[in-house]
């Protein structure tokens, strides 16, 4: 990109949406135009990048061309006005920028020259058909969530390309340095380019594997918002909202995939509790202590409808996200904590452990068994996984064990477990709660902390 373009980009190459000329807006009309640009970019950026990636077969080049189009909007719209179809305008400008970029690379790679000519031949006044746009979005999801990339890189690239979030916003959401996120995104794009990953929707077994990777990334983003792993906030609503948006888009693009609807059901039901999960000062309010009148019952109904669709599409065959959504539904249907069907939840966790075994599933099963049949039934299940390497630094294991011990009257042992759990968590709100439990060793807050945590 040239110097003129670079003036409008941050250190990571993302356009500065609020600053077209390096200074404050000079009048109200310009300010309104820039706000419109920001809104349009957040809505349309994924479609623009997806359309360009389909044509150039290079996610990095597509994002650069889209960024150049946004810079053009930042320069032109404040004085010329927002076009009637801003998404189409951005895509058309992006195509021209991509052609220019491809032509500049002709001397380096003949393949790019051929692609550039192909792009130019595809430029049509009417733009892509709606179905083509939707296919492009699905392709972009599969590319951004490619298994070649690490989970952190997949999440960052997905939020950047499909969520329209800046590197700064992603870094803030995950409480990591902006440079770290920028490096993850740059390495991810370089890895995809070097592996010559096709911009396409895979078929057959590869499609199932790649779709599982997409679902994993969306749920990873949601979980980081639902129960933040670090920092002093218990919930990060922006990440939950973005994961839900991506899940709803994916459900619309793949309407006949049961697990897509299973994941959407799980997230909708879990998100319905967000308003009740924190107190006035941001302190955690655990599931069994929540005011269920503050739950979003419309969102619960959406989640239950998605669960019903997932179960219908699967023909009753259990699948991981659908089973987890069924567990969440048990909580959603209970009018009070005492009404919760813990025996049903314990049975569902046993099913989940059978189809997708992991020590974390076993820990959650121990919670449910302890609630259904007493702490003496749950404690052996926790002890059985205590030496698993995956659980060595997992703070919820000692917190669950501490509450079971407290319920059995073994207070000193329970306090030690709570203190150990507090030393392992990186979230300040959670640490304060666990230290309170270590001091008090009464009630069952730490046990409910594990109940409230998401499985997997």
What pLDDT, in 10s, does the model give residues 185-240?
Answer: 999 999 999 998 888 888 888 888 899 999 999 998 999 999 988 888 889 998 99
Does residue 45 lie within any of the structural domains? yes
Q: How far is CA 374 from the centre of its chain?
A: 35
Backbone angles phi, psi at 123, to 5 degrees: -65, 115
Does residue 174 lie within any of the structural domains? no
Does residue 142 lie within any of the structural domains? no
Among 43, 33, 137, smallest CA distance to 87 is for 43
Instruction: Dump pLDDT digits (tens) for 125-162.
Output: 444 444 454 678 889 999 999 999 999 999 999 998 88
Does residue 234 lie within any of the structural domains? no
List the domain range (segments joined by +) for residue 30: 3-130
Does residue 231 lie within any of the structural domains? no
Instruction: Dump pLDDT digits (tens) for 340-355.
Output: 999 999 999 999 999 9
Return the HEC string of 156-207. HHHHHHCCCCCHHHHHHHHCCCHHHHHHHHHHHHHHHHHCCCCCCCCCHHHH
Alpha carbon distance 238, 168 (integer Å): 13
Q: Would you say how long the chain is, in residues?
A: 456
Total count of domains within the chain: 1
Which of 11-25, 126-140, 325-339 is modeled with the greatest confidence?
325-339
Q: What is the mean pLDDT of the chain?
A: 84
Question: What integer pLDDT is reported at residue 26 of this predicted model?
Answer: 55
- pLDDT, average across residues 251-273: 96
Q: Report percent pLDDT > 70 for the chain.
A: 83
Does residue 107 lie within any of the structural domains? yes
- pLDDT, average across residues 408-426: 94
Does residue 35 lie within any of the structural domains? yes
Question: What integer pLDDT is reported at residue 14 of this predicted model?
Answer: 54
Q: Which of 6-10, 103-107, 361-365, 409-413 has the lowest mean pLDDT?
A: 6-10
Band (pLDDT 50/70/90 cuts) for residue 113 is very low
Question: What integer pLDDT is reported at residue 59 of this predicted model?
Answer: 83
Return the HEC string of the chain. CCHHHHCCECCCCCECCCCCCCCCCCCHHHHHHHHHHHHHHHHHHHHHHHHHHHHHCCHHHHHHHHHHHHHHHHHHHHHHCCCCCHHHHHHHHHHHHHHHHHHHCCCCCHHHHHHHHHHHHHCCCCCCCHHHHHHHHHHHHHHHCCCCCCHHHHHHHHHHHCCCCCHHHHHHHHCCCHHHHHHHHHHHHHHHHHCCCCCCCCCHHHHHHHHHHHHHHHHHHHHHHHCCCEECCCCCHHHHHHHHHHHHHHHHHCCCCHHHHHHHHHHHHHHCCHHHCECCCCCECCHHHCCHHHCCHHHHHHHHHHHHHHHHHHCCCCCHHHHHHHHHHHHHHCCCHHHCCHHHHHHHHHHHHHHCCCHHHHHHHHHHHHHHHCHHHHHHHHHHHCCCHHHCCCCHHHHHHHHHHHHCCCHHHHHHHHHHHHHHCEEHHHHHHHHHHHHHCCCCHHHHHHHHCCCC
Tell me the two tokens of residue 162: 């499909």
Does residue 200 lie within any of the structural domains? no
What b/e sequence results for 82-107 when a residue is b if at least 16 CB atoms lie within 10 Å of its CB, and e otherwise?
Answer: beeebbbbbbbbbbbbbbebbeeeee
Which of 23-27, 34-38, 242-246 is modeled with the greatest confidence?
242-246
Question: What integer pLDDT is reported at residue 393 of this predicted model?
Answer: 92
Does residue 1 or residue 342 have the better pLDDT?
Answer: 342
Look up the pTM and report it. Answer: 0.75
């Amino acid at each position: 990109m040239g110097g003129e373009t670079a003036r409008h980009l941050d250190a990571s190459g993302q356009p500065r949406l609020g600053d077209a000329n390096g200074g404050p807006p000079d009048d109200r009309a310009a300010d309104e135009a820039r706000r419109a640009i920001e809104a349009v970019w957040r809505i349309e950026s994924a479609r623009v990048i997806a359309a360009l990636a389909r044509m150039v077969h290079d996610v990095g080049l597509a994002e650069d061309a889209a960024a150049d189009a946004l810079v053009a909007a930042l320069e032109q719209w404040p004085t010329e006005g927002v076009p009637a179809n801003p998404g189409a305008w951005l895509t058309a400008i992006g195509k021209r920028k991509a052609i220019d970029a491809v032509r500049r690379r002709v001397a380096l790679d003949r393949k790019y020259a051929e692609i550039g000519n192909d792009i130019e031949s595809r430029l049509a006044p009417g733009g892509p058909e709606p179905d083509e746009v939707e296919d492009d979005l699905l392709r972009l999801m599969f590319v951004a969530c490619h298994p070649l990339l690490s989970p952190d890189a997949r999440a960052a690239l997905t939020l950047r390309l499909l969520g329209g979030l800046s590197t700064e916003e992603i870094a803030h959401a995950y409480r990591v340095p902006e440079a770290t996120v920028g490096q993850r995104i740059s390495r991810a794009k370089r890895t995809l380019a070097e592996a010559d990953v096709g911009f396409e929707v895979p078929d057959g077994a590869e499609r199932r594997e790649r779709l599982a990777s997409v679902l994993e990334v969306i749920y990873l983003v949601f979980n980081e918002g639902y129960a933040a792993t670090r920092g002093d906030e218990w919930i990060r609503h922006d990440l939950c909202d973005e994961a839900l948006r991506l899940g709803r888009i994916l459900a619309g693009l793949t309407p006949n995939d049961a697990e897509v609807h299973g994941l959407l059901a799980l997230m909708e039901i879990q998100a319905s509790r967000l308003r009740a999960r924190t107190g006035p000062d941001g302190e955690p309010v655990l599931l069994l202590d929540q005011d269920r009148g503050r739950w979003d019952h419309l969102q619960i109904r959406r989640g239950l409808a998605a669960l019903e669709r997932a179960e219908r599409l699967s023909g009753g065959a259990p699948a991981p996200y659908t089973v987890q959504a069924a567990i969440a539904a048990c909580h959603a249907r209970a009018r009070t904590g005492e009404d919760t069907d813990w025996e049903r939840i314990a049975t569902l966790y046993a099913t989940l452990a059978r189809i997708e075994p992991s020590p974390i599933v076993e820990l959650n099963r121990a919670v449910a068994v302890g609630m259904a049949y007493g702490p003496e039934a749950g404690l052996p299940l926790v002890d059985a996984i205590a030496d698993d390497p995956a659980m060595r630094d997992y703070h919820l294991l000692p917190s669950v064990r501490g509450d079971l011990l407290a319920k059995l009257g073994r207070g000193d042992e329970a306090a030690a477990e709570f203190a150990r759990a507090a030393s392992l968590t990186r979230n300040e709100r959670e640490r304060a709660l666990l230290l309170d439990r270590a001091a008090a060793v009464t009630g069952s807050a730490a046990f409910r902390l594990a109940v409230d945590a998401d499985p997997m």
